[in-house]
Amino acid sequence: MDPRVTFRLYVTIGLAVALIGALWALADGSAGSGPAGPAGQVKADPKGVEVTMPQAATSLPSVQLHATPASNPCAQTPVQQALASGGDDAVVAAFGGGAAFRAAVAAGNAPCIDLSDPNRDWVVVNKARPLNPLTFAPTSFGDPALSVSGAGSLRSDAAHALDQLSAASDAAGAGSIALASGYRSYETQVQTYSGQIATYGQAQGDALSARPGHSEHQTGLAADVVSCAGGCGDIDSFGGTAAGAWAAENGWQYGFIVRYVAGQTPVTGYDPEPWHLRYVGVPLATAYHDGGFTTLEQFFALAAAPAYLG
């Protein structure tokens, strides 16, 4: 290309760029101090070119928030009918299953569910949540097929579930599981607790045994168990047996959880008790297992209960 043509092209482009820059500068100055006043259309007209300035934002639009109230499962007919029938598994199913039941209760969105009702599988009894009444006793009892002398009974549905658990453990090669201590009345717990305090002192006794009216055993839903592989052992050795490991891993399939596990004493207030199985029903035990929970307090979003309130 002829160098003169190239030179003219560069000059033409340079002049165009300079002209555009001058126009923008003129428009900017007019917007700040010209007669057009507030931001809007400002005309710069040296060559008959009109420049429109953008409208300046002087405020932000308001944001409208609309809260949608959570539905109350207790207002639903299936839930009301299940509660009236008395079937705990049916109630949980009406909520949509164990996970949905737990979520509603933990969120405070299930006013029809009373975690203090000792007649229900979901009752929570701990050092901060005594039974109501303190002298509560179940109305239905059953004796497990396998139990040691003096073990007592369980609530009938818990006894049946323990039979299934024991049979499954035995079939899996871990050995059968027997009830060593089940339901304890208020009066029996008075003796049990007093004996622990006399032996170990107040602090250690409180970590080993519940005060009367604060024991899960009084609900008929708690089972202290032993392994009976080649002869029944004692509760202290249960956690180290094949049956103890199997129950911890598979008990949820039969409605049981290990209530007091290692590392949770600051929450439960009790030393670990791998032999202490608590019946909550299969739907809730499944949600407990699937959610990776380790205490009922955590499961239902309740406060820790490391010590008695008074």
Number of neighbouring beta carbons within 10 Å of residue 239: 19
Q: Are 196 and 205 in contact (CB under 8 A)?
A: yes
Active site residues: 273
3-class SS at 217?
Answer: helix
Say how many residues make up the chain.
310
Q: Which amino acid makes up residue 41?
A: Q
Please report the DSSP string for 145-211 in residue order.
Answer: SSB-TT---EEHHHHHHHHHHHHHHHHTTS--EEEEE----HHHHHHHHHHHHHHH-HHHHHHHSPP
The Cα-based distances of 72 to 58, 81, 87, 116, 298 in angstroms read 44, 15, 20, 20, 22
What is the Cβ-side half-sphere exposure of residue 83, based on CA atoms within 13 angstroms? 16
Q: How far apart are CA 245 and CA 235, in angstroms?
A: 13
For residue 291, give the nearest of 100, 96, 79 by alpha carbon.
Answer: 100
- What 227-231 contacts at long range (C-beta under 8 Å, 24+ apart), as own/partner pairs, is 227/174, 227/175, 227/176, 227/177, 227/178, 228/146, 228/175, 228/176, 228/177, 228/178, 229/174, 229/175, 229/176, 230/175
